[in-house]
Amino acid sequence: ATVAADLSRGSPTAGLAEFVAELDERAAAQHAPTVQGVTLASLHAAKGLEWDAVFLVGLADGTVPLQHAVTDEQIEEERRLLYVGITRAREHLQLSWAASRTPNGRRSRRASRFLPEPDGPNARPTRRRAGRSAPVCRICGAALQLASERALRRCPDCPSDYDEELFDRLRTWRAEQSGERKVPAYVVFSDATLTAIAQARPSSVPQLLAVPGIGRTKLDLYGADLLALVRGPGAPGEPETRPPDRHRNVTRK
C-alpha cells in the first residue's frame, strides 16, 4: 500500500504496469525498506541486508539443499547459503517447512537435513515410514549421510568397483546430451548417478529404474541410450518382440 501511495503521489495517472515497474526497480536496488513493511527476497538477494524479523520458509529437503546438490562442495555451499539467511535477523527468526507441496497433498516431505531435530512443548514428533532403515555403506556398513553417498551406496573412502570404461562412455554421452539440450551436465545426470550405473551395469528397464537418480521422466528421455551404453559398442540390442497376430485369417486350399 505504501508503494502504491508513493507512486500515486508522484504520478497520479500511473497504472498497474507502472506499479510493477516500481516494484522491479526496488527489488533490483536491494535496499531494505525504511518504513514498516514486508520484503520478499531470495537467500542470494538477502546478502548484506538485515531485518528485525526474518521468516525463512520452504526449508524442506530437496529445496534446502537443492536436490541437484550432490557433491560435498555443493552441499556445503547450500549450508552456507542457509546460514546467510539465518543471520539476516536482528531480533526474531522463524524457520518453517511444509510436509506437503500442495494443500491436502501427500505428506511425504521432510525438514531440511540442516535443521536440528525439533524439541520443546510445540514440537511434533517426526513419523518414520515403517520398514525403512537408514542407508548404510554396502562395503563397510557405516551410515550414509550425503545424497552422493546414498546414490553410490558406499562411503567415498571405500574402494569402488565400478566399470571405469563404462563410466568414461557415460560421461562422454552426458556431455553430448548437455550440449544438445543446452543444460548443465548435472541436469542430465550427476556424477554419482553415472557411477551407480557403472557399478550396477543394468541390462533391463526394471534394473535401470532401481538405480538412484533415475525416475520415469529420465527413463523416458535417456533409458534406451543408457542400456545401449551399458551393452557396449557393437553389442547386439534386445531382440524385438511382437505380439501374436490373433486376427489373421488363414485360408487353406
List the chain pLDDT tens, one digit each, 253 residues: 566 776 676 677 777 777 777 676 666 555 555 556 788 888 888 887 888 899 999 888 888 888 788 787 888 888 888 888 898 888 899 988 887 767 666 666 788 888 876 554 444 544 444 344 567 776 777 777 676 677 667 777 777 667 888 988 999 999 999 999 888 888 898 888 888 898 889 999 999 988 888 888 889 999 999 999 999 876 555 443 333 444 444 444 4
Query: Nine-digit cell at 34?
Result: 525504511
Contact 87, 127 (CB under 8 A): no
Residue 227 burial (CB count, 10 A)? 17
**Would you state the pLDDT for residue 246?**
41
**Would you state the pLDDT for residue 249?**
47
First to last CA, the chain: 90
Query: Nine-digit cell at 120?
Result: 520443546
**Would you state the pLDDT for residue 107?**
67
CA 61 to CA 113: how far, in whole Å?
6
Parse the chain into domains and list their residue ranges.
Answer: 1-30, 164-231
Q: What is the DSSP string of 105-164?
A: ------B-TTSPPP-STT--PPPPPTT----B-TTT-PBP-SHHHHHHTS-TTSPP---H
Chosen CATH of 164-231 out of 1.20.1440.230, 1.10.510.10, 3.20.20.60, 1.10.150.80:
1.10.150.80
Contact 135, 144 (CB under 8 A): yes
**Would you state the pLDDT for residue 135?**
76
Residue indicated by cell numbers 528397464? 205
Bridge partner residues of 63 (DSSP): 66
Angle (CA) 230 231 235, round 5°: 155
Residue 211 burial (CB count, 10 A)? 19
Q: How many CA atoms lie within 13 A of 43 on its CB side?
A: 19
